[in-house]
Structure 1
Amino acid sequence: MTSSRSTRSTRRTPLAVPRSRALMLSTASVAGGVALIAGGYAQAAEPTRAAAPSTTSAVSTSSMSTTSTSTAGPVQVEHEVGTVLEGSADAGIPVAVTLYENNLHGSSIQVVLGDPDADDIGYVEQEGAFVHDGVLDVTVDVQGTPVRLHGTVTPSGRPARLVDPMQDNGEQIVVKGTNTALATDVDVTVRGTSAPVQFAPAFSFDLESRTVTLYGR
């Protein structure tokens, strides 16, 4: 069982979203994804991306691999795997839950009780995942109220493949990978009352991003 804590780590800004995370959410057509966190905590804004050239992703990838070193820098490759869950429940009081796991950027869970404007918010951040062997069991302290999430999270259906090329701030980026829908059977318990959490979106991701710094940056 993961120990609870409500203070935010100073290791990095809480809820700052890596570029590949935002890409992964938009590619999965998650309307807003984990973009807006209740209680006034908003996802960190990203630079506006220029539209990708109107060629296929295969052409974009090929152009990256054949670009000479005189016009582009080294290729940076990152491999990210993780989980995105966002949902709500009514355990005698409205509960909103956002879980994000990323092997490179760490994992976090945020829980909001009642009206988001009341600022009854709890937050836990750690290096490793919260879901182990398909089981989630973690308690988050929300302003002195322990909120327990417990249940199972398992893959559902076949992985959906994705390829997304783009240019961003003088970089050519191509992300390839998969998103896999997740089936969840998770309850939240608040002050002795339990209720099922309905998660949407709920998926895992396995992404490889290749970034090349373009000439003239």
Structure 2
Amino acid sequence: MASAPVPGGRSLSGLPSPHSDPEIEGEGFSGEASERGSHVGGSGVAFSSDEEPANIQQQQQLPTQAPTQPTRKNVAPREQAQSQFHKSLNRHHKAHMRKMDQQHVDSCVATNAYNAGQARQAAHESAMLALQQELVTIHRERHEAQSQHEARMESLMQARHLAQTQHKAALLSLQEEVVELKKQKLALLAKEKQQIAAPKPTEPTSSTSTAPPPAGSTRQLRKRK
């Protein structure tokens, strides 16, 4: 349905007015003008007061004319103009539909691109979330491994300290034993020196030389000492 033309040769819908179409311009609506002109005349026509009374009386004496019927000569240009108008309207309608189809295709392409972008963004966010979870897991495992390493190092240090304490105690005991042995050695040497320095017993007489040695001999006396 065509809208009313506006000044400038364009209709309200944004399409060029058929009156400005080069195919219609110059020959359009000539039948309307002839039809409008065919209704002028008759005895009921009033003129301005500037005309002379004789002319008015002469016009009133003219015989009454019947309205002219549209002839074939007048109808043909009108039908041709209407046909050209409809052709132009169909042409503009098809062009507008092609433009709308192109806009629809562009809109579909833009929608698909937007949906693809949304899908890529969702995949990126999912990957970032998985990466964050993996980093949290790695940090937790690293903290647990560090805690276990520190516990092992503490246990090793305690074991080393205990071993060092035991080693020091063993060395101290060994040193005490060495000192005790040295003391015993010195005591034995002193006894031997005393025995060497002691006077020898007198030689027995002939009457007593065959007698058995007394019960307490010199060797036994040394042992007792």
- TM, length-normalised to structure 1: 0.16
Greater percentage in strand: 1
Question: Which has the bigger relative contact order, CA under 8 A and spacing at least 6?
Answer: 1
Answer with 1 or 2: which has the greater Rg.
2
- TM, length-normalised to structure 2: 0.16
Greater percentage in helix: 2
